[in-house]
């Protein structure tokens, strides 16, 4: 057992109001400069919808993530070394600028310097790329609030199968929820493995995936390999850029900018301990529906004495172990199991998880003529919610509706119980027992999801500055070698990933 620590995030989608504050503050912090005008390290999508870039979830087209070959081996969907070598200068599996949107500026001088007259001057849009006048026809937030849904949202790659007929875009029957997205900082990142120059790497001490700008050669293989399309190319420098998980803030023990500024307080940050030796095995689970359980099995109990001993042997500091025991992410992912990963079928083992949205359950009970106080009636209504379980399952459980139903029933039981307690009643614990919760656990989960304070939502230990001198030694091969010092800041690692290895001289082996 090789214990490593990962800074992870959970988002409660019931609390996202789609204000895009997280996107704007991230934009101002990380991509407010020439070359990345079109790049949004954090964006908020309206679901159902085609997303950003357009239809990024269609891996038949974009070849992102991992798959199993005929012999059950884990391979990149974008192809092996030979294919990547042959397509270095002509990679066909890349979104075009039209799939993102053409960045524009405006003729502001025309507003300021226009001569006096009867006509009102306007600032016409001009392309940042060509400098020529252009029309604005798409954007990162084009479908906000289901704008244009009848024309576009039907192309959502998740709307497949016979159940898709349940999704109606008429005013009375439609539904929507907001899905904030950023780099998943995966345990098994396809972008890292696909990078021919080894510029993409995953830090050992906190699991954050970064790009070494000095080594990046702009091959764009990382863009293709990332199934979430969260790697962007700076068109001014030709280098790849992506969400950094605000690592300077994380190292200082502060939350990410998107978390700090989130109006809905829906984001949670914390540490997860995991067994690095089991990452490859988990990602190669034969049945896609077993990938969620396989990834959860990789996570370790931070209160287990054996895990603590192994973590100390790996060089994880004591304050990090204390933070792991207080982690809200561990509670939501492992203890209560109400958080789910985005598209586990991509086999990257993502580390940004989501509490799925819960439609108004009592309305569904009333429409069916049921008794809102009867747990059986309430649980039955979960299958008739406005947001189809099949749609949520296509996003979070590789199509397994039973897992989604279990999470929604747990949230429903919690909501029903706490509603009674808030109204001064004793609270019926029958529904809680049916979903495996005690009254104490229900109160703790409610406190975490609904009224958690700042210090409870963000448990991020600071980096150890006494180890900073070691970073000067870390500009080397991204694959861990036996002589590496566990826990050193800035170290690179790839776990269970077949890829080109770079020698210490900078060549490939």
Left if phi > 0, otherwise alpha if psi is -120 to 50, otherwise beta: which for 294? Answer: alpha
Say yes or no to pLDDT of 103 above 60: yes
Q: What's the pLDDT tens digit per position in 366-391?
A: 666 666 666 666 677 777 777 888 99
CB 47 within 8 A of CB 395: yes
Stretch 82-98: mean pLDDT, rounded? 85
Helical (H) or strand (E) element with 251: helix 247-251
Say what the alpha-carbon torsion angle 6, 479, 285, 209 is, to the nearest 10 degrees: 40
Stretch 247-261: mean pLDDT, rounded? 96
282 closest CA partner among 274, 46, 11, 380: 274
Stretch 455-474: mean pLDDT, rounded? 73
Architecture of domain 1-92+150-357+453-509: 2-Layer Sandwich (3.30)
Say yes or no to pLDDT of 498 above 50: no
Stretch 309-317: mean pLDDT, rounded? 94
Average pLDDT, the chain: 87
CB 99 within 8 A of CB 152: no
pLDDT at 363: 64
Stretch 316-322: mean pLDDT, rounded? 95
Secondary structure in 3-state letters for 376-443: HHHHHHHCCCCCCHHHHHHHHCCCCHHHHHHHHHHHHHHHHHHHHHHCCCCCCCHHHHHCCCCHHHHH
CB 79 within 8 A of CB 225: no
Of residues 71 and 488, more confidence is placed in: 71
Burial of residue 346, with CB atoms counted within 10 A of its CB: 0-12 exposed, 13-18 middle, 19 or more buried: buried
pTM over 0.85: yes
Q: What's the pLDDT tens digit per position in 291-302?
A: 999 999 999 999
Say yes or no to pLDDT of 21 above 60: yes
pLDDT at 292: 97
Lowest mean pLDDT among 2-11, 185-194, 464-473, 497-506: 497-506
Q: Where are the domains of the chain?
A: 1-92+150-357+453-509
Lowest mean pLDDT among 25-29, 119-123, 341-345: 119-123
Token pair for residue 356? 């799925």
Stretch 6-17: mean pLDDT, rounded? 96
CB 346 within 8 A of CB 66: yes
Of residues 199 and 496, more confidence is placed in: 199
Rounded CA-CA distance 70/166 in Å is: 35
Say yes or no to pLDDT of 485 above 80: no
Rounded CA-CA distance 7/257 in Å is: 15
Token pair for residue 362? 């009592």
Residue 405: CB atoms within 10 A of its CB come to 19
Q: What's the pLDDT tens digit per position in 171-191?
A: 667 788 999 999 999 999 999
Q: What's the pLDDT tens digit per position in 418-458?
A: 988 888 888 778 889 989 999 999 999 999 999 999 999 99
Strand partners of residue 240: 233
Of residues 481 and 412, more confidence is placed in: 412
DSSP 215-243: T-----HHHHH-TT--EEE-TTT--EEE-
Q: What's the pLDDT tens digit per position in 190-236?
A: 999 999 999 999 999 999 999 999 999 999 999 999 999 999 999 99
Strand-pair category, 66-68 with 43-47:
unpaired
Say yes or no to pLDDT of 500 above 50: no
Of residues 358 and 487, more confidence is placed in: 358
pLDDT band at 40 (very low <50, low <70, confident <90, very high): very high
What CA–CA distances, in Å, run from 389 to 166, 174, 385, 403?
Answer: 10, 14, 8, 10
CB 236 within 8 A of CB 35: yes
Token pair for residue 241? 């850029």
148 closest CA partner among 129, 126, 184, 174: 174
Q: Can you list the alpha helix ranges (DSSP code H) found in 326-382?
A: 328-330, 361-367, 375-382
pLDDT at 191: 96
Stretch 95-117: mean pLDDT, rounded? 89
């Amino acid at each position: 057992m090789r214990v490593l620590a990962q800074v992870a995030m959970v988002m409660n989608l019931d609390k996202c109001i789609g204000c895009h504050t997280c996107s704007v503050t991230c934009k101002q912090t990380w991509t407010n400069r020439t070359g990345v005008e079109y790049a949004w390290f954090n964006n908020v999508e309206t679901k159902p919808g085609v997303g950003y870039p357009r239809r990024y979830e269609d891996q038949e087209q974009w070849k992102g993530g991992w798959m199993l070959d005929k012999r059950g081996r884990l391979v990149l969907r974008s192809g092996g070394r030979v294919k990547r070598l042959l397509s270095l200068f002509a990679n066909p599996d890349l979104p075009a600028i039209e799939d993102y949107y053409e960045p524009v500026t405006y003729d502001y001088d025309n507003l300021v310097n226009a001569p006096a007259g009867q006509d009102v001057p306007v600032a016409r849009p001009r392309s940042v790329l060509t400098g020529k006048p252009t029309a604005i026809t798409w954007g990162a937030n084009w479908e906000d609030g289901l704008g244009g849904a009848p024309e576009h949202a039907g192309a959502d790659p998740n709307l497949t199968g016979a159940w898709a007929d349940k999704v109606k875009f008429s005013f009375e029957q439609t539904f929507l929820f907001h899905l904030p997205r950023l780099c998943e900082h995966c345990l098994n990142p396809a972008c890292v493995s696909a990078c021919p120059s080894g510029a993409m790497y995953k830090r050992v001490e906190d699991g954050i995936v970064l790009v070494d700008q000095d080594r990046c050669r702009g091959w764009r293989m990382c863009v293709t390999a990332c199934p979430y399309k969260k790697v962007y190319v700076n068109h001014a420098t030709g280098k790849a850029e992506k969400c950094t998980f605000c690592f300077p803030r994380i190292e200082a023990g502060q939350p990410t900018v998107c978390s700090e500024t989130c109006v809905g307080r829906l984001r949670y940050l914390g540490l997860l301990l995991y067994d690095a030796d089991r990452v490859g095995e988990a990602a190669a689970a034969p049945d896609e529906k077993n990938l969620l359980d396989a990834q959860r099995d990789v996570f370790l109990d931070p209160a287990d004495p054996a895990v603590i001993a192994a973590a100390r042997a790996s060089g994880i500091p004591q304050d990090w172990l204390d933070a792991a025991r207080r982690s809200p992410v561990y509670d939501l992912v492992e203890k209560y199991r109400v958080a789910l990963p985005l598209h586990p079928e991509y086999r990257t083992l993502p580390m940004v998880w989501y509490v799925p949205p819960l439609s108004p359950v009592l309305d569904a009970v009333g429409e069916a003529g049921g008794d809102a106080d009867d747990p059986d009636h309430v649980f039955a209504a979960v299958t008739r919610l406005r947001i189809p379980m099949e749609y949520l399952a296509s996003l979070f459980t590789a199509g397994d509706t039973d897992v989604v139903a279990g999470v929604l029933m747990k949230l429903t039981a919690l909501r029903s119980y706490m509603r009674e307690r808030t109204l001064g009643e004793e609270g019926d614990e029958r529904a809680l027992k049916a979903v495996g919760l005690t009254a104490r656990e229900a109160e703790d989960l409610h406190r975490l999801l609904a009224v958690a304070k700042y210090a409870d939502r963000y448990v991020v230990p600071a980096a150890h500055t006494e180890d900073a001198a070691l970073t000067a030694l870390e500009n080397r091969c991204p694959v861990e070698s036996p002589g590496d010092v566990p826990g050193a800041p800035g170290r690179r690692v790839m776990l269970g990933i077949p890829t080109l290895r770079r020698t210490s001289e900078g060549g490939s082996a």
